[in-house]
């Protein structure tokens, strides 16, 4: 049964992505491209804040001319590169956000540790690859392959780009469309394992999982997958034990550990109620230090932040240098709103200031991430405006885009 499934998947990939399209299909994609650009120009708050109108138009014209000679996957990737060139994190086309794109993933998960890429998790059959360092993917070094996929990613800092790159580097359609590999069906990897350098060829495993952009899912344990953490005794480090909980806190000696994984309400509690509980806990227990962990946080509804900040800065027992710290990585938007810490004697208006600095793109703070239900619709997200002090974004639907 497994072999039959693999054969069917290979045939599906050959039919759907690996051949150039018929003339009628090419014209439909060209119409879609023009429609997409028109909507971006009409609706984006400031489309040319990081790219000139001339450069943007040249990219569009170049793709329009090439579409008849491209595969479906290549067209989608090139459209994503045009959208990403706008240069803000909420203007994007991501295969991880839209099931209609229909890309696939390899049976391994990549993770950057420092500047090096490793295989952090695998399906059971690839267990022997756990912990391997990736030197090359297809025709390119890992560094060059990463640079290629980052051109598809709308981002505002290096961490955000690297986060999504870890997913894109495991998508055979993306790799083939960027000419990192020659075939969707075969992805050669050059690795270094505990036994030395080796080469393996991996194949598409399953459809890409659609995920939220507001919380990091990188370290989630997949059902039926093995993780390099399984090879070591003991439990996960504290910051990885409850990654699927929006927010929580707990005591560790004289430290109050607070983890906020997304800026949003949970199904059982609002963020405002959690903030009040946190304030009350600090007042009642008077911990020597409070640590706020944002490493899994990639954003959310920033209109909910004021209650959280008030709960901290109104806690007199920690309103002293050295008693409040924050841990974050630049893969999200939140730290640029409320960092650096400590927040001692800092006016709340400064902590929440949303007006961008000179040369900086305002960050979107609300985004409708649900995908349209109609099979023919394609999702593009981009920044559309501002309300009060908060920048906002919205999803636009493109009913004519032909993804199937």
3-state helix/strand/coil string of 74-124: HHHHHHHHHHHCCCCCCCECCCCCCCCCCCEECCEEEEEECCEEEEEEEEH
Q: Would the pLDDT of 346 be above 50?
A: no
Pick from 54-63, 74-83, 264-273, 348-357: least confident: 348-357
Is 1-100+367-404's fold the same as 238-351's?
A: yes
At residue 331 the predicted structure's pLDDT band, cuts being 50, 70 and 90, is very low
Higher pLDDT, 326 or 33: 33
The winner for highest mean pLDDT among 85-89, 124-128, 374-378 is 124-128
Question: Does residue 359 or residue 312 have the better pLDDT?
Answer: 312
Q: Is 291:255 a contact under the CB 8 Å cutoff?
A: yes
Band of pLDDT at residue 309, cut at 50, 70 and 90: confident
Tell me how crowded residue 207 is: count the other CB atoms within 10 A of its CB: 14
Domain ranges of the chain: 1-100+367-404, 104-207, 238-351
State pLDDT tens for residues 154-176: 988 888 899 999 999 999 999 99
Structurally, what CATH architecture does the domain formed by 1-100+367-404 represent? 2-Layer Sandwich (3.30)
pTM of the predicted protein model: 0.79
For 207-258, write each residue's pLDDT tens digit.
999 887 777 888 888 889 999 998 888 888 888 888 889 999 999 999 999 9
Per-residue confidence (pLDDT) for residue 244, from 0 to 100? 84
pLDDT (mean) for 336-348: 32
pLDDT in tens, 260-289: 999 999 999 999 999 999 999 999 999 998
Who's near 350: CB < 8 A, 6+ residues apart? none
Average confidence score pLDDT of the chain: 79
**CATH number of the domain located at residue range(s) 104-207 in this protein:** 2.30.42.10
Residue 306 has pLDDT above 50, yes or no: yes
pLDDT at 204 exceeding the cut of 80: yes
CA–CA separation, 312 and 67 (whole Å): 54
CATH 3.40.50.2300 holds for 238-351: no
Q: What is the pLDDT of residue 396?
A: 43
Give the mean model confidence (pLDDT) for residues 1-12: 47
Question: CB 193: neighbour CB atoms within 10 A?
Answer: 15
Q: Is the pLDDT of residue 342 over 70?
A: no
CA dihedral 135, 139, 145, 147 (to 10 degrees): 120
Tell me: pLDDT of 88 over 90: no
Residue of 23, 115, 17, 138 whose CA lies nearest to 75: 17
> Roughly what angle, to the nearest 10 degrees, separates helices 305-313 and 271-285?
10
Higher pLDDT, 387 or 273: 273
Strand 255-260 with 289-293, pairing: parallel
């Amino acid at each position: 049964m497994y072999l039959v499934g693999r054969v069917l998947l290979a045939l599906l990939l050959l039919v759907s992505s690996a051949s150039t399209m018929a003339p009628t299909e090419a014209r439909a994609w060209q119409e879609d491209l023009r429609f997409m650009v028109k909507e971006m120009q009409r609706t984006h708050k400031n489309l040319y804040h990081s790219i000139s109108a001339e450069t943007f138009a040249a990219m569009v014209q170049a793709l329009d001319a090439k579409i008849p000679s491209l595969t479906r996957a290549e067209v989608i990737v090139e459209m994503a590169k045009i959208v990403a060139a706008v240069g803000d994190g909420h203007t994007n086309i991501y295969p991880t956000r839209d099931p209609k794109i229909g890309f696939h993933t390899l049976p391994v998960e990549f993770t950057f540790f420092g500047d090096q890429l490793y295989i952090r998790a695998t399906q059971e059959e690839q267990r022997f690859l756990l912990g391997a360092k990736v030197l090359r993917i297809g025709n390119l070094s890992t560094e060059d392959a990463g640079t290629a996929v980052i051109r598809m990613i709308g981002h505002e800092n290096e961490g955000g780009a690297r986060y999504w790159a870890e997913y894109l580097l495991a998508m055979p359609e993306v790799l083939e469309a960027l000419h990192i590999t020659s075939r969707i069906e075969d992805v050669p990897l050059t690795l270094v394992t505990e036994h030395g350098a080796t080469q393996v060829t991996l194949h598409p495993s399953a459809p890409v999982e659609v995920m939220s952009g507001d919380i990091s899912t990188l370290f989630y344990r997949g059902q039926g997958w093995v993780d390099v953490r399984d090879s070591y005794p003991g439990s996960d480090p504290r910051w990885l034990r409850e990654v699927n909980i929006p927010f929580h806190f707990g005591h560790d000696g004289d430290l109050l550990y607070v983890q906020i994984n997304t800026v949003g309400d949970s199904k059982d509690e609002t963020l405002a109620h959690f903030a009040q509980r946190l304030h009350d806990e600090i007042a009642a227990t008077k911990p020597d230090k409070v640590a706020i962990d944002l490493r899994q946080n990639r954003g959310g509804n920033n209109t909910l932040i004021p209650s959280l900040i008030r709960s901290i800065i109104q806690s007199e027992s920690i309103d002293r240098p050295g008693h409040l710290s924050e841990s974050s990585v630049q893969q999200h938007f939140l730290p640029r709103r409320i960092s650096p810490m400590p927040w001692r004697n800092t006016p709340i208006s400064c902590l929440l200031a949303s007006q961008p600095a000179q040369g900086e793109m305002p960050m979107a703070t609300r985004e409708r991430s649900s995908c349209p239900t109609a099979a023919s619709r394609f999702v593009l997200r981009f920044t559309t405006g501002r309300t009060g002090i908060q920048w906002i974004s919205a999803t636009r639907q493109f009913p004519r885009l032909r993804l199937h």
